[in-house]
Amino acid sequence: MIKVLVVDDLPVVRAFLSHLLDADPEIRVIGTACDGREAIEAVRDKRPDVVTMDVHMPNMDGFEATRIIMETNPVPIVIVSGSADPQEVSMTFRAVEAGAVAFVARPSGMGHPEHGKTVQELLRTVRAMSGVRVVRRWPRPAREAGSPGLPDQALRRETSGIGVVAIGASTGGPVVIQRILAALPRDFPAPVLIVQHMATGFTSGFVEWLARSSGIPVKLAVHDEPLHPGCAYVAPDGFDLEVEREGWITLRKGDPRNGHCPSVSRLFRSVSQVYGGNAAGILLTGMGKDGAEELLQMKEQGAVTMAQDKESSIVYGMPGEAERLNAATYLLPPDAIIRVLKRVVSERQEYAGQVTR
């Protein structure tokens, strides 16, 4: 039985969510809280397996409550947002920064055409997050080990630079993607394509949140637009992000692959077909297997491939499958991924320039 604490400032919402969760035979609501302060006390006293957390609350908001819970009594926290406004949604990701492991839209009311779908998304997320590993956020973890050097032969066999970087992620991915983009310099010489699994309605806010800290511009991808070096493009809701010819984006209304749209598999497959070895692929934390086989295809084409290591992953599904397939040139924590990415791109660009001169 999964024990859940429901946190929201509105009594009607607390009652609504409690009713939906209690209707699942695997879930039991053990308490509710009306603000962040009550939530902190309830987590300490009741020891839930999962907390559903509102963001906007009086006395103490969900961001601050999440931060304190993750520093004192860490537990998987799922943000349940009732707003579709991109600016409001971007605030949700502050709680993700503080340690929340997932986020979903508040289920639609009875009679709404999306009611069943949104309820199932909430229940599926709560069940899945009950089993994830969370760690205390304070004191901060020790500095991560340095990244390994790039083998010289990996550079020598290339005659051109990295044309594109492709990133795929699911549960736990937003914070890692933020760290990667924040570390990239403005003159980063390759475009970055991103597929992040998330609930419908959150992607625009995700892009806005990323743009506030990114070292390069971040935007929602648009069909048939050119790729620009030093710019990140995020797959929009309901569309697969692909490249059909070098330097151009293609969006396709999804036929979901591996249960996901946008699909990491479709992105990686298209990059492998168009760019061959002149690409880098990165598979981050997340449930399932999406993208793992296609990361192997990229590796076999000569691309540099990386997957997040088990110790730093919230869920070691997608990168774990990549490890099983030997699809990743490197298995690394986020800071080491950043260092290898910057090094391999700069070294291949420099090598390509030497070859063409």
* Same-domain pairing of 282 and 170: yes
119 falls within a domain: yes
Residue 345 pLDDT exceeds 70:
yes
Q: Quick one: pLDDT at residue 149? A: 42
- Please count the other Cβ atoms lying within 10 Å of the Cβ belonging to residue 355: 11
Query: Are 96 and 209 members of one domain?
Result: no
Q: Write out the two tokens for 58.
A: 């009086």
CATH at residue 327: 3.40.50.180
Whether residues 243 and 283 share a domain: the answer is yes
Closest CA relative to residue 100, chosen from 10, 163, 167, 36: 36
Instruction: Summarize pLDDT for 299-312 with one digit per residue, the tens.
Output: 999 999 999 999 99
Spatial distance between the Cα atoms of 167 and 173, rounded to a whole number of angstroms: 10
Place of tokens 């736990």: 172
Answer whether residue 88 is part of any domain: yes
Choosing from 9, 35, 147, 197, the catalytic residue is 197
Q: What is the pLDDT of residues 180-235, one digit of tens each?
A: 999 999 999 999 999 999 988 899 999 999 999 999 999 999 999 999 999 999 99
Q: Are residues 184 and 265 in the same domain?
A: yes
Burial class (CB in 10 A: 0-12, 13-18, 19+), 245: exposed
Angle at 164 between CA 160 and CA 165, to 5 degrees: 125
Binning pLDDT at 50, 70 and 90, where does residue 339 land? very high
Q: What span, in angstroms and rounded, lies between the C-alpha atoms of 244 and 224?
A: 10
Res. 243: pLDDT tops 90? yes
- What is the pLDDT of the chain when averaged over all its residues? 88
What is the predicted pLDDT for the residue at 138? 46
Instruction: Report if residue 145 sits inside a domain.
Output: no
Active site residue 197: yes
Distance CA 311, CA 314 (A): 8
Whether residue 97 sits in one domain with residue 245: no
pLDDT per residue over 125-165, tens digit each? 999 999 887 876 644 443 333 334 444 444 333 434 799 99
Same domain? For 223 and 330 the reply is yes
Domain containing 340 equals 152-356
Residue with tokens 């994830």: 132
**Residue 267's CB: how many other CB atoms inside 10 A?**
26
Instruction: Give the gyration radius of the chain's Cα atoms.
Output: 21
Same domain for 174 and 123, yes or no, is no
Q: pLDDT by residue (tens digit) across 19-52? A: 999 999 999 999 999 999 999 999 999 999 999 9
Does residue 232 belong to any structural domain of this protein? yes
d(CA 3, CA 64): 22
Residue 249 in 3-state DSSP?
Answer: coil
Q: Is residue 309 part of a domain?
A: yes
Number of domains within the chain: 2
Lowest mean pLDDT among 122-126, 142-146, 277-281, 348-352: 142-146
- Residues 325-338: tens digit of each pLDDT: 999 999 999 999 99
Indicate whether 10 belongs to any domain.
Answer: yes
Contact 137, 67 (CB under 8 A): yes
87 in any annotated domain: yes
pLDDT in tens, 248-272: 999 999 765 446 899 999 999 999 9
Residues 161 and 215 in one domain: yes
* 147 domain residue, yes or no: no
Q: Which of 8, 9, 240, 290 is catalytic?
A: 290
Same domain, 161 and 71: no
Tens-digit pLDDT profile for residues 81-133: 887 676 677 778 888 889 999 999 999 888 889 899 999 999 999 999 998 87
CA–CA distance, 166 with 138 (Å, rounded to integer): 32
Residue 49, domain CATH = 3.40.50.2300
Does one domain contain both 213 and 321?
Answer: yes
Q: How far is Cα 87 from Cα 190, in angstroms, rounded to an integer?
A: 28
Residues 73 and 160 in one domain: no
Using the 3D structure, point to which of 95, 129, 163 is the last residue of a domain.
129
Secondary structure class of 205 (helix, strand, coil): helix
Question: What pLDDT is attached to residue 37?
Answer: 98
Whether the bond between 151 and the residue before it is cis, its omega within 30 degrees of 0, is: no
Pairing verdict, β 250-253 and 239-242:
antiparallel
Residue 137 main-chain phi, psi, to 5 deg: -85, -5
Q: Given 90, 130, 170, 204, which residue is catalytic?
A: 170
Active site residue 49: no
Is residue 217 located within the same domain as residue 116?
no
What integer pLDDT is reported at residue 318 of this predicted model? Answer: 97
What pLDDT, on the 0 to 100 scale, is given for residue 317?
A: 95
170 flagged as catalytic? yes
d(CA 32, CA 75): 15
Burial of 215 (0-12, 13-18, 19+ CB in 10 A): middle
Q: State the pLDDT at residue 256.
A: 57
